């Protein structure tokens, strides 16, 4: 019975996700679902990416958190359209939450929409939102074992960002071990070691994002 209920919930969510995707496609909008554990640097990555993309790509953000507007206010201060979703305890965003947030954004004036999911490496991967690409953001301080501990997340990724690469040596992070873990699960996801803070390695990631936008 529990499995049956779970399937019904996910099926209903997927139906709304398809509606979200149709709305995104109608506006020619690329949507990236950014998933990570707390503190991996999703907000910093969004801001650094938006700056590197320049005026040619118009970004917007849906910010997901359990509570507060801290990250949304940081993004808004940069002049980027943003709306906040507070889940009130839920460990993930779902498609109905995204649908509710869309009227609060100027979709017709955007080229790229970042969905910053709730910090969690488990259930965020289970709920489709209608996004075109799933991006997992890991970071050096978390350790190199994350693909082995959270295989479901990395198996679903369309791209993996290894953030805070300027700290790899400080935390004795084994990049090869990390990369092997991802490749055992997912041979198609490019891996981008970078530092949102220093700009190190950002070029390849930004070019990947530009390509996804252009293909919309």
CATH of the domain at 16: 3.40.50.300
Q: What is the mean pLDDT of residues 183-188?
A: 97
pLDDT of residue 129: 98
- Specify whether the CB–CB gap between 23 and 131 falls below 8 A: no
Residue 1 or residue 83, greater confidence: 83
pLDDT digits (tens, 9 = 90+) for 68-82: 999 999 999 999 999
pTM of the model: 0.94
Distance of alpha carbon 172 from alpha carbon 169, whole angstroms: 5
Q: What is the dihedral of CA 92, 166, 204, 105, to 10 degrees?
A: 40
Using one digit for the tens of pLDDT, what is the confidence trace for 115-129?
A: 999 999 998 999 999
- Please give the pLDDT value at position 6: 55
- Structural domain including 211 reads 2-215
CA atoms within 13 A on the CB side of 184: 14
Is 94 in contact with 14 (CB distance < 8 Å)? no
- Looking at the structure of the chain, the number of domains it has is 1
The pLDDT, as a whole number, for residue 52 is: 98
């Amino acid at each position: 019975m529990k499995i049956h209920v779970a399937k019904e919930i996910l099926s209903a969510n997927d139906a709304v996700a398809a509606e979200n995707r149709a709305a995104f496609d109608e506006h020619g909008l690329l949507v990236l679902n950014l998933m990570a554990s707390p503190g991996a640097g999703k907000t910093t990555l969004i801001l650094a990416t938006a700056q590197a993309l320049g005026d040619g790509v118009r970004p917007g953000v849906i910010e997901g958190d359990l509570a507060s507007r801290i990250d949304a206010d940081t993004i808004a201060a940069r002049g980027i359209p943003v709306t906040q979703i507070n889940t009130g305890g839920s460990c993930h965003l779902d498609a109905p939450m995204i649908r509710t947030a869309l009227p609060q954004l100027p979709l017709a004036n955007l080229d790229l929409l970042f969905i910053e999911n709730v910090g969690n490496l488990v259930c965020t991967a289970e709920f489709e939102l209608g996004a075109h690409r799933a991006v997992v953001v890991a970071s050096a301080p978390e350790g190199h074992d994350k693909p082995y501990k959270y295989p479901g997340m990395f198996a679903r990724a369309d791209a993996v960002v290894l953030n805070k690469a300027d700290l790899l040596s400080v935390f004795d992070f084994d990049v090869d071990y990390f990369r092997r873990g991802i490749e055992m699960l997912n041979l198609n996801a490019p891996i981008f070691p970078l530092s949102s803070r220093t700009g190190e390695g950002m070029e390849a990631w930004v070019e990947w994002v530009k390509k996804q936008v252009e293909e919309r």
